[in-house]
Amino acid sequence: MRRILIATSNSGKLRDFAGAALQHGVEVAGIPDFSSLPAVVEDGPTFEANAHKKAEEYSRYAPGEIMVADDSGLEIDALNGAPGVHSARYAADKPGQADANTDDEANNARVLRELRSVPPEQRTARFVCVLAAARDGKTLATFRGTAEGIILKAPRGTNGFGYDPLFYFPQIRKTFAELSAEEKSKYSHRGAAFREFLAWCAHSTIADH
């Protein structure tokens, strides 16, 4: 069974990836002692740049292994694509907070304030996930997944994290926070990107070396 490492300390994200990977004969594991490694500063201008940077830098700590890292976020059309790459720290509007993640409630509250006067038909948005696979400091391939939806005027649901309670997915008439882990994997941006990665694993000779 091929093994890949995921550059994250998020146990929920690891479970999501592991469940999908097992069906494709791929074993997923976290990086040993991940918390002790120097943090990678996500200062790239795009999701792709941040995913590449994390995958390449963390892959140097696991020679010969395939390292996967993702960068994800929410793009709202009425806000010209914001919060975008700043999704995890969108509420950090004070000096010195630019690199610090802010809590989900604060981020959601800022989005709702900025969309207060925007009518429903103009509240279109998408979740974006870019996965990068790297080995020994070099990117092997990248994969992009998206999910199109609408930002509600109030949160719904208690599952998920981040902007999930505000993100209404018309295809199934639920927010991402109203989905089970299995449903979210089926419809989400991260699930779409990871399925592309697994298909690449199954057919790529690069992944076998």
Lookup: tokens for 58: 């963390």
* Res. 191 pLDDT band, cuts 50 70 90: confident
Predicted pLDDT at 1: 63
Asked if the bond preceding 83 is cis, omega within 30° of 0, the reply is yes
pLDDT at 7 over 60: yes
Lookup: tokens for 179: 């989905």
Summarize pLDDT for 13-42 with one digit per residue, the tens.
Answer: 777 777 677 777 788 888 988 889 998 988
CA nearest neighbour of 81 among 117, 147, 128: 128
Lookup: tokens for 106: 């604060």
CA end-to-end span of the chain = 14
Predicted pLDDT at 95: 45
Which active-site residues does the annotation give?
A: 71
Summarize pLDDT for 140-161 with one digit per residue, the tens.
Answer: 999 999 999 999 999 999 987 8
Cα 127 from chain centre: 8
Average pLDDT of the residues of the chain: 89
Higher pLDDT, 75 or 100: 75
CATH of the domain at 20: 3.90.950.10
Residue 147 contacts residue 127 (beta carbons within 8 Å): yes
Domain range enclosing 93: 2-208
Domain count, the chain: 1
Instruction: Compute the C-alpha angle 199/200/205, nearest 5°.
Output: 130
pTM score above 0.85: yes
C-alpha 57/C-alpha 138 separation (Å) is: 9
